[in-house]
Amino acid sequence: MNYIEAPLLQYPDWRGHPFLRAEVAKFLSYYCRAHSLLDLRSVVFLKSCSTVLSVLAVVLCDPGDAILVSTPFHSGFLFRAQMFAQVELISVHVDSEITNKHTQPSQPTVGKLEQVLLEAKKKSKKVKGLLLANPQNPVGDVNMKESLKEYLKFAKRNELHVIIDEMYMLSRFDETIVFHSVLSLESLCNANRTHVIGAVSDFGITGFHFGVLCTHSDDVVSAMSTFGYLHSVSGITQYKLHPCLGTETVSTECTCPPATLGSMTRMSMSPRGCSSWRSFSSRSAFPVAAVAFISG
């Protein structure tokens, strides 16, 4: 870390160096079990996930437009979309109790999405998209594969963009729960309107501040890339981040990069301790499968 080679001190590629975008494309293709392999042309790098969402809202929406989002949602969404891009977030409230009909009450039903969208149209609001987090933040629930398909069909019917935050995709500690990335679906109803946000939060290396957008829309990639003039990732960070991904091992031996493996091990241990404390203290809590959030 005390020695920095001369090439690292030059201006970086605004959308992310090609070698790093190619490495991220391989990483996501493997861990997301992408139905079709991704390539570097689908990947845009900016300095944080917050920046990616903020800029994406600017690219997809005009000031005053709206995006649907299920509650509860990460408070940062308000700043990223509403305050930065002047895009209104319309809440889709979900159930809070598990019943025979709703085994995953934190996930919105298509019926509720349709209802909220209709109410927004009656108020002359222009809804441009649907914002989802999978795994969900802060609830820690994981969306079912069938639910994802239904959300995409809903979006296609109503000509909406779908923005999916998958930045905690590897932060699962319940091995019985299977994570399905939207990229793993056999076919996307409208690939050019489906955009995935992610970062390697699972590595526990927040000092390497960066965010990734993965999209099949050339227009969105082009528009997002221009914002790299203001929000690009430093060249030093890009060069140092590259070996952390370690996809040479992933693609040949199907093993986790060391940083991911260590994080996943710690992730599986922490919730067990919290669960033991919860049982000891007789506190009730919403069952979670990822992200180590415990809601009481």
Q: What is the CATH number of the domain that holds 156?
A: 3.40.640.10
Q: Which of 179, 137, 161 lies closest to 32 in space, CA to CA? A: 179
C-alpha distances in angstroms, 1 versus 9, 203, 220, 240, 241? Answer: 13, 19, 35, 9, 12
> Which residues, other chains included, contact 277 with Cβ-Cβ below 8 Å and sequence gap of 6+?
none
- Tell me the two tokens of residue 182: 């939207």
Q: Is residue 289 part of a domain?
A: no
Helices of type H across the chain: 18-31, 49-60, 76-77, 110-122, 145-157, 218-226, 228-231, 235-245, 247-253, 258-281
Residue 2 belongs to some domain of the structure: no
Identify whether 155 is part of a domain: yes
- Kindly tell me the sign of the dihedral angle through the C-alpha atoms of 180, 200, 85, 72: positive
Q: Which residues are CB-contacts of 281 (< 8 A; sequence separation ≥ 6)?
A: none
Longest dimension (CA), the chain: 62
User: What contacts 99, CB < 8 A, 6 or more positions away?
Assistant: 105
Among 158, 160, 198, residue whose Cα is nearest residue 42: 198
Is 286 part of a structural domain of the chain?
A: no
Please state the domain count of the chain.
1
Report if residue 1 sits inside a domain.
no
How far apart CA 43 and CA 190 sit, in angstroms, is 18
Residue 95 maps to a domain: yes
Asked whether residue 112 is domain-assigned, the answer is yes
Per-residue pLDDT of the chain (296 residues; tens, 9 = 90+): 566 777 778 888 888 889 889 998 998 898 889 888 888 999 998 988 889 999 999 999 999 999 999 888 887 788 778 778 899 999 998 876 655 555 566 678 899 999 999 999 999 999 999 999 998 888 888 888 999 999 999 999 999 999 999 988 887 777 778 889 999 998 777 788 999 988 756 666 677 788 899 999 999 999 999 999 899 888 888 888 888 776 554 443 334 454 455 555 555 555 555 555 445 445 555 566 666 555 44
Structure tokens at 204: 């526990």
Domain span at residue 148? Answer: 11-281
Strands 88-92 and 194-198 turn out to be: unpaired
Q: Is 296 inside a domain boundary?
A: no
Q: How far apart are CA 284 and CA 145, in angstroms?
A: 28
* pLDDT confidence of residue 223: 95
